[in-house]
Chain A
Amino acid sequence: MTTRTTTTDAPKPLSAALVVFATSIVAVLIVVPLVAVFAEAFSGGPVAWWQALAHDPDTRHAIWLSLTVAPIAVAINTVFGIAAAWLVARFRFPGRSLLITLFDVPFSVSPVVAGLALVLIFGRQGLLGPTLAWLDWKVIFSWPGLVLATTFVTLPLVVRELIPVMEAIGPEEEMAAVSLGASGWQVFWRVTLPNIRWALLHGVVLANARAMGEFGAVYVVSGHIAGATDTMPLRVEKLFQEYRQPASMAVASVLAGLALVTLVVKFVIEHRLHAEARELELARSTDGTTHDATPGRAGA
Chain B
Amino acid sequence: MSIHIRDISKSFGSFRALDRVSLDVPDGTLLALLGPSGSGKTTLLRIIAGLEFPDEGLIEEDGEDITERHARAREVGFVFQHYALFRHMNVFENVAFGLRVRKVPKAEVTARVDELLRLVRLEGLGGRKPSLLSGGQRQRVALARALAIRPKILLLDEPFGALDAKVRVELRQWLRRLHDEIGMTSVFVTHDQEEAFELADDVVVMNHGHIEQQGTPDQVFDQPATPFVMDFLGNVNVYHGRVENGRAFWHGIPIDYPDYPHAQARDARVYLRPHELDITPATSVASRPGTSLPASVLRVTRSGAITRVACRPHGSETELHVDLPTDTARTLTLEPGTAVSITPRRARVFLPGPEYVI
Write the residues of chain A forming the contact surface with B, with a CB cutoff of 8 angstroms.
Answer: 172-173, 175-183, 186, 190-191, 194-195, 279-280, 282-284, 286-300
Contacts and interface: CB of A to CB of B under 8 A. Distances in A.
Interface in B326-340: none
A198 to B, nearest CB: 10
Contacts of B167: 288-289, 292
Given A282-B131, A283-B131, A295-B170, A175 B87 contact: no
Interface string B65-81: 00000111111111010
A269 B93 CA distance: 25
A173 B93 CA distance: 14
B51 interface: yes
B12 to A, nearest CB: 10
Contacts of A300: 115, 118-119, 181
A281 B211 CA distance: 36
Given A173-B84, A283-B85, A295-B120, A179 B163 contact: no
B101 A186 contact: yes
Given A287-B135, A298-B119, A183 B72 contact: yes
Contact of A179 (B78, B130, B162, B177): B78
A165 to B, nearest CB: 12
B87 A182 contact: no
5 contacts: A179-B77, A181-B75, A181-B149, A286-B163, A300-B118
B87 A288 contact: no
B86 A292 contact: no
A289 B140 contact: no
B121 interface: yes
Interface in B32-66: 49-51
Pairs of residues from A and B, 9 with the lowest C-beta to C-beta distance, nearest first: A288-B135, A172-B84, A180-B98, A288-B163, A292-B136, A295-B121, A176-B84, A179-B78, A286-B162
Given A287-B134, A288-B163, A280 B174 contact: no
B178 A182 contact: no
B86 A191 contact: yes
A158 B70 CA distance: 31
A290 B134 contact: yes
B137 interface: yes
A284 B118 contact: no
B134 A179 contact: no
B152 interface: no
Contacts of B78: 175-176, 179
B233 interface: no
A172 B81 CA distance: 9
